Amino acid sequence: MSALALEFTILTAARSGEARGATWRENDLTTAVWTVPANRMKAGREHRIPLSRRAVEILGQVGILADDDSEAFLFLGPKGSRTPLSDASLERPA
């Protein structure tokens, strides 16, 4: 899960916290756009990010593990859909 989250973060040029906190509700796979709401953005403004083909593939991969909850995180933490990956999960080892 960490590797997919890291790849998604790189492909979208997002901050790691934005990617780790992303939910299914924020993503429109039909138009391939991820809309990060203003309250989750450092600048306080909504941000629309076009998703590459590979980013959409990643969402398909992690979607297999998701339930039908639109508020569920894309990249599940150890406690399931209600907890995101930790910030340490995307850091490189010392």
Helix (H, G, I), strand (E, B) or coil at 23: strand
Q: Is residue 90 part of a domain?
A: no
Predicted pLDDT of residue 66: 62
Q: Convert the pLDDT of each residue in 61-79 to its tens digit.
A: 988 666 666 678 888 887 6
Q: Is residue 38 part of a domain?
A: yes
- According to DSSP, the β-strands at 47-50 and 76-77 are unpaired
Q: Is residue 23 part of a domain?
A: yes
Q: Convert the pLDDT of each residue in 32-64 to its tens digit.
A: 999 999 998 888 899 999 999 999 999 999 886
Predicted pLDDT of residue 81: 55
How many distinct structural domains can be found in the chain? 1
Q: Is residue 48 part of a domain?
A: yes
Which residue range is the domain that position 19 belongs to? 2-84
Q: Determine contact, residues 77/26, Cβ cutoff 8 Å.
A: no
